[in-house]
């Protein structure tokens, strides 16, 4: 019999795997949460939240996985988990109410929760740069310290962006609503370069081979750019 695969972070899937990043509600402030409000307004402890969460362990095993931990990020009442980035430590969990939670990758323990927007903010992605965890909305980039959850930087984009970021070092490459592939250098709060097309972008740019960026506009135009923004092919 094949050995079960280790699952450190599990997401809700169509196959029915339970959401291990569970729970709803916590104080909307930077720092580890002490609990969450219940329906009657009483604050529940993390232990009570964990006790109220049921995992279908048999269902997980049937899929060939073994659950390793259960984490409880902050989720506003009525909100949902919108983006999970488990590419690095800590795990970053963004909920639709505008709060980003950081969880220890090995244990699922909550490190901190920081508000970076509201339920009206349109977020497009979460990524990592040398300076920390970056939350991207359609108009701004928020840089969060991974050890503390502190908001270290907040920068506006020159244009409204529509896509997840492609990250090259400290530069974010994004597609905009006005048909531009935009490169924004974090820490300097400036547009590094931009390449304009005739249609908007809703799919994130990607790397293609060595030193090239590929992007597809909503009109189906495919372009290839150098990391400096020069067109090499269409």
3-state SS track over the chain: CCCCEEECCCCCCCCCCCCCECCCCCCCCCCCCCCEECCCCCEECHHHHHHHCCCCHHHHHHCCEEECCCECCCCCCCCCEEEEECCCCCEEEEECCCEEEEECCCCCCEEEEEECCCCCCCEEEEEEECCEEEEEECCEEEEECCCCCCEEEEEECCCCECCCCEEECCEEEEEECCCEEEEEECCCCEEEEEEECCCCCCCCCEEECCCEEEEECCCCCEEEEECCCCEEEC
Residue 40 confidence (pLDDT): 55
Q: Which of 60-74, 140-154, 197-211 shows the lowest per-residue confidence on average (mean pLDDT)? A: 60-74
The model's pTM? 0.79
Calculate the average pLDDT of the chain: 83
Residues of the chain with pLDDT > 70, as a percent, come to: 79
pLDDT tens digit sequence for 180-192: 999 999 998 889 9
Confidence at 202, pLDDT banded by 50, 70, 90: very high
Residue 157 confidence (pLDDT): 96
pLDDT tens digit sequence for 6-53: 444 443 332 222 334 444 333 333 334 334 444 455 545 656 767 788
Residue 46 confidence (pLDDT): 59
Tell me: pLDDT of 87 over 80.
yes
More confident residue, 12 or 79: 79
Residue 66 confidence (pLDDT): 85
Residue 47 confidence (pLDDT): 67
Average pLDDT for 55-77: 86
pLDDT tens digit sequence for 134-192: 999 999 999 999 999 999 999 999 999 999 999 999 999 999 999 999 999 999 888 99
Residue 19 confidence (pLDDT): 38
Average pLDDT for 50-60: 83
Tell me: pLDDT of 88 over 70.
yes
Residues of the chain with pLDDT > 90, as a percent, come to: 63
């Amino acid at each position: 019999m094949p050995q079960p695969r280790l699952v450190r972070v599990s997401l809700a899937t169509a196959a029915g795997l339970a959401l291990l990043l569970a729970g709803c509600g916590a104080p909307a402030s930077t720092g580890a949460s002490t609990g969450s409000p219940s329906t009657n307004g009483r604050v529940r402890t993390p232990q009570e939240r964990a006790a109220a969460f049921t995992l279908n362990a048999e269902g997980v095993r049937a899929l060939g996985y073994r659950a390793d931990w259960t984490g409880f990020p902050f989720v506003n009442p009525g909100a949902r988990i919108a983006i999970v980035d488990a590419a690095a430590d800590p795990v970053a969990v963004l909920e639709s109410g505008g709060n980003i939670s950081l969880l220890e990758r090995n244990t699922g323990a909550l490190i901190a929760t920081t508000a970076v927007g509201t339920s009206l903010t349109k977020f497009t992605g979460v990524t990592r740069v040398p300076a920390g965890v970056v939350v991207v909305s359609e108009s701004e980039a928020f840089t969060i310290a991974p050890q503390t959850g502190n908001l270290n930087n907040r920068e506006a984009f020159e244009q409204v962006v529509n896509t997840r970021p492609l990250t090259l070092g400290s530069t974010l490459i994004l597609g905009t609503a006005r048909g531009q592939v935009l490169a924004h250098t974090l820490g300097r709060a400036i547009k590094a370069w931009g390449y304009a097309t005739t249609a908007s972008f809703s799919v994130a740019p990607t790397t293609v081979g060595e030193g090239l960026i590929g992007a597809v506009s909503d009109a189906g135009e495919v372009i290839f750019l150098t990391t400096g923004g020069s067109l090499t092919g269409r």
